[in-house]
Homo-oligomer: A and B are copies of this chain.
């Protein structure tokens, strides 16, 4: 069923830069293109926006279709509209970034799509289209937001220890943090609730588990509160 318009129209896509935290380092998910152009090269998962879905819905749908990942943190990043970014025709892409609780999801959707693969953000493959630019933008945004918004938890299991959280920050931001000061600061925000469980891994004292409380966060943001690590 063809569709006709008076003036030419750009195609509209969403692309989604998916981040996960695994083995102590930040990873990003790319998929291998099966079709030309850039056949065989790696790319950011994404696809066309349908006329009856919002941009957010399109991003979630594509993510689910291409990677099997559902219910992740999703945030709009930037819209890329260079005229020649796709060699075939004019394509404008609304880019998102997603944060995945990899440790929770791994069992199910380890790498659902056979052609999807996790890469350390420090060693991305050569990417198709302008996807290297999109990836760079997403990584910069993630690092910036991690400092002043409590989104680190989105990369950890629902129950996590303060050490895990600290290691996440250290790995993503590339800095060393003082243990006592870090705990003082994070707990001072009153966003984490201690659980009645502890985590035992290895031959040492068990660690207190926490979870993030989004309700408390909502309340605080309305009172103009400022998170910063």
**Interface set of A (CB-CB < 8 Å, partner B):** 1-12, 48-56, 76, 78-79, 81-83, 90, 92, 94
Contacts and interface: CB of A to CB of B under 8 A. Distances in A.
Contacts of A1: 6
B52 A83 contact: yes
A76 to B, nearest CB: 6
B2 A4 contact: yes
A9 B9 contact: yes
B4 A4 contact: yes
Specify how many copies of this chain sit in the oligomer: 2
Given A51-B10, A51-B90, A3 B4 contact: yes
A83 B51 CA distance: 7
Nearest to A3: B8
A7 B48 contact: yes
Given A82-B54, A94-B81, A3 B7 contact: yes
28 contacts: A2-B4, A3-B5, A3-B7, A4-B4, A5-B5, A5-B9, A7-B50, A7-B51, A8-B51, A9-B9, A9-B10, A9-B11, A9-B12, A10-B12, A10-B51, A49-B81, A49-B92, A51-B90, A52-B83, A52-B90, A53-B83, A54-B81, A54-B83, A55-B81, A56-B81, A76-B78, A76-B79, A79-B94
A15 B90 CA distance: 20
Contacts of A81: 49, 54-56, 94
